């Protein structure tokens, strides 16, 4: 046994405790037991599998970083499951304050007293729910103009057990941080108050679980799990399929939780009123709480996110010019932006050359081209006006004559198809029209395309010109 390493583990524990607080430390970190250091990997033991997974995903990165700060040769972490680890460490730490070390292995197998109830109450929700990504926390979420409201609302829900608005409905285009915020809420609540049952899952998973429960005649268990949640989060509800009995089940669960004053958080890629496949009464109920949309990013936010990512990734020098270039050119969404940065770093490692502008353009050719090709609503309006021979101003005007109204609808339809703008955003660009007008236009053109071959051809041509 190496006393030096043991001393390091004690240092790491001290830092974990001050960073995460006594409650989290006692629940999750104190039960860990130091085993050994081997080939730069710190080996710890946890009393249960659940605990191991939890610690790895929630605290793993910090444990590793703290350890490396103590001893730079240590850059890996491994946690094994050892049923008595918790018991011993608690006992030893209580008696003399030092971290326990007992590697003899001649100990009776019994489960860790403190951990069992946590496991039992958490695992049902976890089994039904989807896994949480440890990277998606409030600390790693960069706040800008486009998402500050969503962030503030998420924080509010996570910080207090009081229910101020129900549901919280977050919506916005893909890759703009909805899932990140939901996971952050879940992590935060689980850490601050592990007794609260938080269930996070995608709408697809909810449907899958429900169908499975029906098949296995376990609907009672299904209902019980979801109705015992203190916080229920359902991600991407636009994927609820049309007129499905799962919608009905969801609605019952929803109402029951609201009646019990439990918090519900929903996300979608569009506003409640635009969820065409969701039944009208559910749709309208979803809009009763606080509805917040996450807008497209701006340059500052993109740059901030890149900087934050770099700081975390610990990659030495990175030319600021390249960062600005990326923030300027990759405008589609944050997921693509992150992907671009990762690819660039990987590329530079592979070819063994430092990152510069030239390499960036070479390595990200396809991505850059795709982002360039992204059409703006203004371009769509211009091309459509030209094609149908109307004035550009009529895209914004209140004129309802068929000769201008139809092309305007076509432009709205193309804006929905070819850009990532939301319906309200599109409406605003068309002379401040309401999003329901845009929705109606999209539907109308979709119908007409089926019956009016000439119009279908016009649209096809326009689309090709715009995308080409």
State whether residue 322 is helix, strand or coil: helix
Choose the contact partner of 129 out of ligand ADP, Mg ion, none; CB within 5 to 8 A by kind: none
- Least distance to ligand ADP from the beta carbon of 9, Å? 31
- Least distance to ligand ADP from the beta carbon of 160, Å? 22
Contact 327, 299 (CB under 8 A): yes
- Least distance to ligand ADP from the beta carbon of 250, Å? 19
As a whole number of angstroms, the distance between CA 252 and CA 263 comes to 15
Measured from the CB atom, is 85 or 203 closer to ligand ADP? 203
Choose the contact partner of 13 out of Mg ion, ligand ADP, none; CB within 5 to 8 A by kind: none
* DSSP conformational letter for 271: -
Nearest Cα neighbor of 272 from 102, 439, 70 is 439
Q: Which class for 266: exposed (0-12), middle (13-18), buried (19 or more C-beta within 10 A)?
A: buried
CA neighbours closer than 13 Å in the CB half-sphere of residue 127? 10
- Least distance to ligand ADP from the beta carbon of 323, Å? 15
- Least distance to Mg ion from the beta carbon of 235, Å? 6
- Least distance to Mg ion from the beta carbon of 20, Å? 27
Pairing of strands 76-81, 41-46: parallel
* DSSP conformational letter for 218: -
Closest residue to ligand ADP, judged by C-beta, is: 177
Q: Contacting Mg ion (CB under 5 A), which of 179, 209, 246, 332?
A: 179
Choose the contact partner of 86 out of ligand ADP, Mg ion, none; CB within 5 to 8 A by kind: none
Under the rule (CB under 6 A), what is the footprint of ligand ADP? 136, 140-142, 147, 172, 174-180, 305, 334-335, 338
Choose the contact partner of 435 out of Mg ion, ligand ADP, none; CB within 5 to 8 A by kind: none
- Least distance to Mg ion from the beta carbon of 301, Å? 18
Choose the contact partner of 100 out of Mg ion, ligand ADP, none; CB within 5 to 8 A by kind: none
| Tokens 């609201």, located at residue | 258
State whether residue 198 is helix, strand or coil: strand
Nearest Cα neighbor of 375 from 422, 416, 344 is 416
**Which residues, 6+ apart, have CB-to-CB distance to 168 below 8 Å?**
153, 154, 157, 263, 264, 265, 266, 289, 290, 292
- Least distance to ligand ADP from the beta carbon of 326, Å? 14
Q: Which stretch binds Mg ion (CB under 5 A): 30-38, 66-74, 178-186, 325-333?
A: 178-186
Choose the contact partner of 142 out of Mg ion, ligand ADP, none; CB within 5 to 8 A by kind: ligand ADP
Choose the contact partner of 141 out of ligand ADP, Mg ion, none; CB within 5 to 8 A by kind: ligand ADP
Measured from the CB atom, is 31 or 177 closer to ligand ADP? 177
Q: Which stretch binds Mg ion (CB under 5 A): 142-150, 170-178, 272-280, 385-393?
A: 170-178
- Least distance to Mg ion from the beta carbon of 296, Å? 16
| Tokens 């270039």, located at residue | 325
As a whole number of angstroms, the distance between CA 391 and CA 432 comes to 18
As a whole number of angstroms, the distance between CA 251 and CA 260 comes to 14
Closest residue to Mg ion, judged by C-beta, is: 179
As a whole number of angstroms, the distance between CA 329 and CA 348 comes to 19
Measured from the CB atom, is 130 or 209 closer to Mg ion? 130
Choose the contact partner of 147 out of ligand ADP, Mg ion, none; CB within 5 to 8 A by kind: ligand ADP
- For residue 34, the cross-strand partners are 44
With b for 16 or more beta-carbon neighbours within 10 A and e for fewer, the 286-324 pattern comes to beebbbbbbbbbeeebbbbbbeebeeeeeeeebeeebbe
Measured from the CB atom, is 45 or 179 closer to ligand ADP? 179
Choose the contact partner of 338 out of Mg ion, ligand ADP, none; CB within 5 to 8 A by kind: ligand ADP
Measured from the CB atom, is 26 or 296 closer to ligand ADP? 296
Binding site for Mg ion (CB under 5 A): 178-179
């Amino acid at each position: 046994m190496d006393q030096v390493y043991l001393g390091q583990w004690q240092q790491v524990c001290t830092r974990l405790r001050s960073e995460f607080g006594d409650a989290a430390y006692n629940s999750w970190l104190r039960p860990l037991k130091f085993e050994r250091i081997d080939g730069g990997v710190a080996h710890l033991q946890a009393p249960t599998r659940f605990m191991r997974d939890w610690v790895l995903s929630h605290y793993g990165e910090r444990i590793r970083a703290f350890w490396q700060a103590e001893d730079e040769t240590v850059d890996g972490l491994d946690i094994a499951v050892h049923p008595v680890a918790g018991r011993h460490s608690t006992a030893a730490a209580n008696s003399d304050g030092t971290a326990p070390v007992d590697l003899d292995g001649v100990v009776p197998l019994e489960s860790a007293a403190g951990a069992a109830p946590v496991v039992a109450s958490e695992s049902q929700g976890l089994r039904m729910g989807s896994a949480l990504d440890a990277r998606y926390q409030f600390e790693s979420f960069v706040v800008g103009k486009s998402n500050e409201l969503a962030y503030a609302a998420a924080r509010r829900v996570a910080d207090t057990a009081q229910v101020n608005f129900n549901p919280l409905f977050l919506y916005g285009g893909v890759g703009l941080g909805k899932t990140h915020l939901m996971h952050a809420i879940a992590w935060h609540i689980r850490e601050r108050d592990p007794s609260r049952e938080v269930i996070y899952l995608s709408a697809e998973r909810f449907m899958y679980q429900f169908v499975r429960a029906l098949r296995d005649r376990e609907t009672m268990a299904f209902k019980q799990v979801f109705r015992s949640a203190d916080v229920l989060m359902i991600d991407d509800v636009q994927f609820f399929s049309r007129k499905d009995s799962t919608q009905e089940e969801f609605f019952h669960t929803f109402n029951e939780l609201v009646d019990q004053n439990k918090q519900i958080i929903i996300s979608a890629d569009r506003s409640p009123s635009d969820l065409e496949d969701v039944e009208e009464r559910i749709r309208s109920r979803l809009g009763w709480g606080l509805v917040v949309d996450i807008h497209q990013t701006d340059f500052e936010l993109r740059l901030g996110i890149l900087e934050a990512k770099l700081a975390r990734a610990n990659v030495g020098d990175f030319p600021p010019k390249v960062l600005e270039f990326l923030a300027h050119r990759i405008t589609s969404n944050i997921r693509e932006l992150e992907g671009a940065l990762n690819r660039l770093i990987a590329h530079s490692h592979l070819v063994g050359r430092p990152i510069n502008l030239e390499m960036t353009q070479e390595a990200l050719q396809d991505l850059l081209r795709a982002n360039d090709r992204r059409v703006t609503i203004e371009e769509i309006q211009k091309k459509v006006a030209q094609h149908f021979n109307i004035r550009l101003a009529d895209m914004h005007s209140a004129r309802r004559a068929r000769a201008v109204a139809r092309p305007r609808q076509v432009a709205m339809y193309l804006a929905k198809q070819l850009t990532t703008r939301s319906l309200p955003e599109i409406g605003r660009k068309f002379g401040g029209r309401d999003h329901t007008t845009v929705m109606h236009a999209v539907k109308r053109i979709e119908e007409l395309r089926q019956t009016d071959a000439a119009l279908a051809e016009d649209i096809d041509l326009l689309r090709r010109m715009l995308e080409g």
